Amino acid sequence: MTWDIAAILAMDGLANGAVYLLAGLGLVLVFSVTRVVFVPFGDVAAFSALSLAAFEAGRTPPTIGLVATLAVLAVIVEVASLVRRGEARRIARAAALWGALPLVPCALAWLAARPGVPAPLHVASAVLLVVPIAPLLARVVFQPIADASVLVLLIVALALHFLLSGLGLLFFGPEGSRTAPLASGTLELGGGYTVSGQVLLMVLSALVLSALFFLVFERTIAGKALRATAVNRVGARLVGIRPARTALLAYGSASLLGGLIGVLIAPVTTMYYDSGFIIGLKAFVAAIIGGLVSYPGTAIGALAVGLVESFASFWSGAMKDAIVFSLLIPVLLLRSYAWPPAEAAEEEIDT
Amino acid sequence: MRATAPRVAVAVGVAAFALAPLFLGSFTVSLLNDIGIAALVALGLVLLTGVGGATSFGQAAFVGIGAYATAWLTTAHGLSPWLGLLFALLLSGASALVIGAVTLRLGGHFLPLSTIAWGLSIAIVFGNLESLGRHSGIPNVPALSLGPWSLADPRAVYYVIWIATGAACWFARNLLDSRPGRAMRSLRGGSTLLASVGADAVRVRLVLFVVAALLAGLAGWLYAHKNRFVSPSPFDVRASIEYLLMAVAGGLGQLGGAVVGAAVVLLLKNELQDLLPLLSQRAAQIEAVAFAVLFIGLLHFARAGVMGYAVRWWRARRARAPSAAGAASAASDGVVADAPPLPRRALPARGTRLLEVEGATRRFGGLVAVNDVSFAVDAGEIVGLIGPNGAGKSTMFNLLTCTLPLTAGRVRFLGDDITGRRQRDVARRGLARTFQHVKLRPQMSLLDNVALGTYARTGAGVLRAGLRLDRAEERRVRAEAWRQLERIGLAARAHEAAGSLPLGTQRTLEIARALAADPVLLVLDEPAAGLRRLEKEALGELLKRLRDEGVTILIVEHDMDFVMKLVDRLVVMNFGQKLVEGSPAQVRSDARVQDAYLGAAA
């Protein structure tokens, strides 16, 4: 390997790392607030990428159907729970919140699919279109079992991924798509090295979004409510924070991050209906390096995973995923010896 | 005879299985073969997840290791499939040992997450190794044969599969009802309890993990020689999820859930494959979606699985029948009161120095919870450790049982320096303890909870237990547990679940468990809390009787009345330091103690 190649690989790794950083932030956010390891995160990213591809091909994205289906399910679940609690008078509000609100981005997307709409609007509506997905899934699938053990929630999340990728195949079909670059041109660095605009955009977006993330967490009431819920759910409830609402906020932000990842990655990687899983898993590796709770740790992890992946793909393209996942083993070893797990709480499937 | 009905059921079941291939079509027999193989994998998951509380999303990878091991050995080297069985078990067991040793220390959700990662990695490796045929796999795997008889026919291999599955169920059942099984059933809910009886939770979990992987490896071996072909796709994470679905659908709480779950899922899959093409052209996709919906629905509404509901229904029926219930007696359920007792430790002579704490200090960050405390306990006495709330008693307790490491100072037990030793080593030397926050296994019976205490005194391993070669020792264990239960007056409820006892009585049950370890020094953390007056008196009598038998007792207690009547000597702590040491009368009249408890006169 020469220095030139190493530099190119490092640049690729940086771009990958930027994506895993964003995904890792979303995963850590959802996990710390809801204790759900949100495996379907990557699917949301894949859906936004495929929606953008549909816009570019001049088709109405099938994601609209998916979101509408989920909204119908969420309204059913919400109405059922209201009726069971004898609060039938709140049904109209619930229908508006769970049924009508998610349809707004659907309507926008439908309009954006008309001919003559400029490309930036396509990108924006592809991202907005997937934002309702995670909150709707959370309402239908996770909120009814919010008090189950982490293990049950994890199994449900994994099953949910298989559900979504099955739906993805039904809605989008097996073909892969790649979208037009969001940023064209290249940047000349000294000494003959160049960086493509897309890579620069990915790294910049990751930096800006993580800074934004940090500001929201540190400076706003909503961010503080998220942090409080992450530290202690019961305590948060005692000071008037509603965990279910904070959870929705976390899922919504994660969905937004997922959507952004999708449109950022689609120009450099061919996306299939099930591509999200591997992206999500690599973000997990990054998040686990940060212990699933630390944001700076996740950032370091994301960078490490991106670099390892890009160098591994140089030696063996087919084995690169195996190499990245094997990276977990030394990390876990280090973690378990450096920070031995505290006395495990009751972790079980109640039988 | 209560035992007759299940035995008849088992006999009828075995006969039905033995005769089934004679009456069923070859398609149904193949389906039964698939169910048997899947049940083996699901059985491992029931053990690992249902019993041990750890989940693996990579179980299909172990099936793959077993299948590829035998396929490679029998095709590339032309060796006998029976050697392939050895190789398959060896490889799947060894890889589980390595993976488990690395990942099983992890808490909670890290373990299952890491299983996804290595589950994926192993499947990727299968698909990319030249010697394993890459994505096209290994064809022409030979069929099994027994001497001159070929077992290529599904009807013939049926017997191999179901004998293996039946044997595995029998083994697992025996295993759970034994010394290692009790430790496995205690894994859920933390490792401190296991350490306090001298067991290593990480090791117990590792053994369970390897057992589950061996079952998967066995299934892989059967799979390879039944299908005569292996390829990577049946061993990926999706397949692992399907095995987990079987275990959950059948019921993680019962071993039978593995077979029932495998049958339910595979029959359903088979039905769906017949039905869906009639409804839609995208049958395969809809099948995947339908299964995911089914799985999520199961976890929402029916986490106990088929067997869970069956057992609940059966118990409710039995509870209604008046004759079945009744007080337990020694003879019921195999407790033999006259079994030879377990070997006992030689207790040190009265007055020997047992425990010596020198300058014990423990800091939590800036807080000094215990500061330079020294005291000693001699054989044959009852020593009380008292002090106001926040005095550092419980921390002191955790220091001398080696549950927490000391920041500075030394602890000697029976003349040896135990500073920095692990809690389980100290427990094995004869230091038994109870917990302030009761640590029992509420689902297990009183007898099993107490029998757990004998862990360090007995030696049956997984193999001996699974093959039922541990029965002589097990009789002695149960007799010992029974004796300890009689001692604390709970023998009549021996077969009830420990969780059904009131909290005060649960503390007493912990004493019985500690006594079952045959301790030299018994360390009790607030044993009288939550007891009524008469129960307290009975407890006091029991402790005095134990002292007369030569057991030394160190007790932390808030109830002054109880302590003053009981102990020979008191150590009083306040603000992390030792205030006074002396006889109850001395302590009672000490001005500093009165200040600490009542506040100094202004």
Q: Are strands B353-364 and B416-417 parallel, antiparallel or unpaired?
A: unpaired
ipTM surpasses cut 0.90: no
Q: Shortest Cα distance from B120 to chain A (angstroms)?
A: 7
B282 located within any domain: no
CB B390 within 8 A of CB B403: no
Asked if A285's CB is within 8 angstroms of B55's CB, the reply is no
Pairwise pLDDT comparison (A223 vs A346), residue with the higher score: A223
A334 reaches B (C-beta below 8 A)? no
**A34 part of a folded domain:** yes
Residue B543 pLDDT grade (very low, low, confident, very high; cuts 50, 70, 90) = very high
pLDDT tens digits, B444-454: 999 999 999 99
- pLDDT per position as a tens digit, B359-372: 999 998 888 899 99
Lowest mean pLDDT among A281-295, A318-332, B319-333: B319-333
Residue B406 resides in a domain: yes
Mean pLDDT of A70-74: 92
What does the pLDDT read at residue B167? 95
Gap from B241 CA to chain A (nearest CA, Å): 8
A172 in contact with chain B, both atoms CB, cutoff 8 A = no
Q: In this model, does residue B31 exceed pLDDT 90?
A: yes
**In the predicted model, what is the mean pLDDT of chain B?**
88
In a domain, B462, yes or no: no
pLDDT, mean of residues A27-31: 87
**Is pLDDT above 80 for B345?**
yes
Answer yes or no: do B105 and A341 touch at CB < 8 A: yes
**Residue A107: is its pLDDT beyond 60?**
yes
Q: Which residue has the higher pLDDT, B209 or B339?
A: B209
**Does residue A180 belong to any structural domain of this protein?**
no
Element containing residue A321 per DSSP (H, E): helix A320-326
Q: Is the pLDDT of residue B2 over 60?
A: no
Structural domain containing residue A319: 3-175+189-338
Of A145, A333, A347, the CB nearest to B53: A347
By mean pLDDT, which of A99-103, B219-223, B327-331, B460-464 is the weakest?
Answer: B327-331
Which pLDDT score is estimated for B325? 41
Q: What is the mean pLDDT of residues B524-540?
A: 88
Q: How confident is the model at residue A281 (pLDDT cuts 50, 70, 90)?
A: confident
**Which positions 254-293 of A are in contact with B (Cβ < 8 Å)?**
281, 284-285, 288, 292
Residues 6+ apart with CB under 8 A from A204: none
| Nearest CA among B486, B555, B557, B546 for reference residue B520 | B546
Q: Measured between alpha carbons, how far is A16 from B206 in angstroms, rounded to an integer?
A: 36
Average pLDDT estimate for B242-270? 91
Hey, what are A80's tokens?
């059922």
Residues of A in contact with B190 (CB under 8 A): 343-346
Provide φ and ψ at B364, rounded to 5°.
Answer: -115, 100
pLDDT at residue A350, as a whole number? 39
CATH of the domain at B582: 3.40.50.300
Q: Of A154, A156, A321, which is closest to B109 when you measure between CB atoms?
A: A154
pLDDT at B37 over 90: yes
**Which of B601, B296, B334, B589 lies closest to B470 in space, CA to CA?**
B334
What is the per-residue pLDDT for B107?
Answer: 62
pLDDT value at position B600? 61
Residues of A in contact with B125 (CB under 8 A): 319, 322
Cβ-contact B508, B488 below 8 angstroms: yes
Q: Which residue has the higher pLDDT, A182 or A92?
A: A92
B364 in contact with chain A, both atoms CB, cutoff 8 A: no
> Looking at the domain assignment, is residue B106 inside a domain?
yes
Residue B406 shares a structural domain with residue B551: yes
Helix axes A63-84, A150-172, angle to 10 degrees: 140
Chain B interface includes A326 (CB < 8 A):
yes
pLDDT for the residue numbered A142: 92
Average pLDDT, chain A: 85
Out of A177-181, B89-93, B454-458, the most confident range is B89-93
| CATH for B167 | 1.10.3470
User: pLDDT at position B284, please?
Assistant: 75
Q: Mean pLDDT across the stretch A17-38? A: 88
- Please give the residue range of the domain that contains residue B516: 353-442+502-598
Q: Is the pLDDT of residue B324 over 50?
A: no
Instruction: Please say whether the beta carbons of A254 and A298 come within 8 A.
Output: no
Q: How many domains does chain A have?
A: 1
Query: What's the mean pLDDT in B277-283?
Result: 76
* Interchain contact, A150 vs B125, CB within 8 Å: no
Q: Is B103 on the interface with A (CB under 8 A)?
A: yes
User: Does pLDDT of B601 surpass 60?
Assistant: no
Nearest Cβ partner for A163 among B248, B253, B296: B296
Verify whether the Cβ–Cβ distance B114 to A344 is below 8 Å: no
Q: Which of residues 207-236 of A touch B (CB under 8 A)?
A: none
Closest chain B residue to the Cα of A292, Cα to Cα = B110
In a domain, B83, yes or no: yes
In which band, very low, low, confident or very high, does the pLDDT at B329 lie, cut at 50, 70 and 90?
A: low
Q: Is A342 on the interface with B (CB under 8 A)?
A: yes
Strands B569-574 and B353-364: unpaired
Nearest to B296 among A160, A284, A316 (CB): A160
In the prediction, which pLDDT does A343 show?
44
Residue B584 in domain: yes
- A345 domain-assigned: no
Check residue A227 and give its pLDDT: 81
Q: Does B105 touch chain A (CB under 8 A)?
A: yes
* CA B175 to each of CA B185, B463, B466: distance values in angstroms, whole numbers, following the listed order: 10, 8, 4
Question: Is residue B555's pLDDT more than 90?
Answer: yes
Residues B78 and B201 in one domain: yes
Distance from CA of B549 to the nearest CA of A (A): 35
Q: Can you give the pLDDT at residue B265? A: 92
Asked whether residue B520 is assigned to any structural domain, the reply reads yes
Of all residues in chain B, the percent with pLDDT exceeding 70 is: 95
pLDDT band at B334 (very low <50, low <70, confident <90, very high): low
Percent of chain A with pLDDT over 90: 26
Does residue B357 share a domain with residue B262? no
Q: pLDDT tens digits for B155-182? A: 999 999 999 999 999 999 999 999 999 9
pLDDT at A345 exceeding the cut of 90: no
Domain stop point among B239, B269, B299:
B269
Look up residue B561 and give its amino acid: D
| pLDDT score of A160 | 93
User: What is the domain count for chain B?
Assistant: 2
Has residue B332 got a pLDDT over 60? Answer: no
Q: Is residue B459 part of a domain?
A: no
Residue B488 neighbours by CB under 8 Å, 6+ apart: B508, B509, B511, B512, B542
pLDDT at B71 over 70: yes
Residue B73 has pLDDT above 90, yes or no: yes
Q: Cβ B289–A163 below 8 Å, yes or no?
A: yes
| Mutation site, B242, B245, B280, B285, interface A, largest A CB count within 10 A | B285
Are the Cβ atoms of B107 and A284 closer than 8 angstroms? no
> Which A residues 68-107 touch B at CB under 8 Å?
none
Q: What is the pLDDT at residue B192?
A: 86
Please check whether residue B491 is in contact with residue B479, taking contact to mean a CB–CB distance below 8 angstroms: no
Asked if B299 reaches chain A (Cβ–Cβ under 8 Å), the answer is yes
Q: How far is CA B201 from CA A61, A333, B278, B352, B423, in A?
A: 52, 17, 52, 33, 12
Alpha carbon distances (Å) from B401 to A179, B190, B344, B349: 64, 17, 21, 22
In a domain, A344, yes or no: no
Q: What is the pLDDT of residues B382-414, one digit of tens each?
A: 999 988 888 888 889 889 898 888 999 999 999
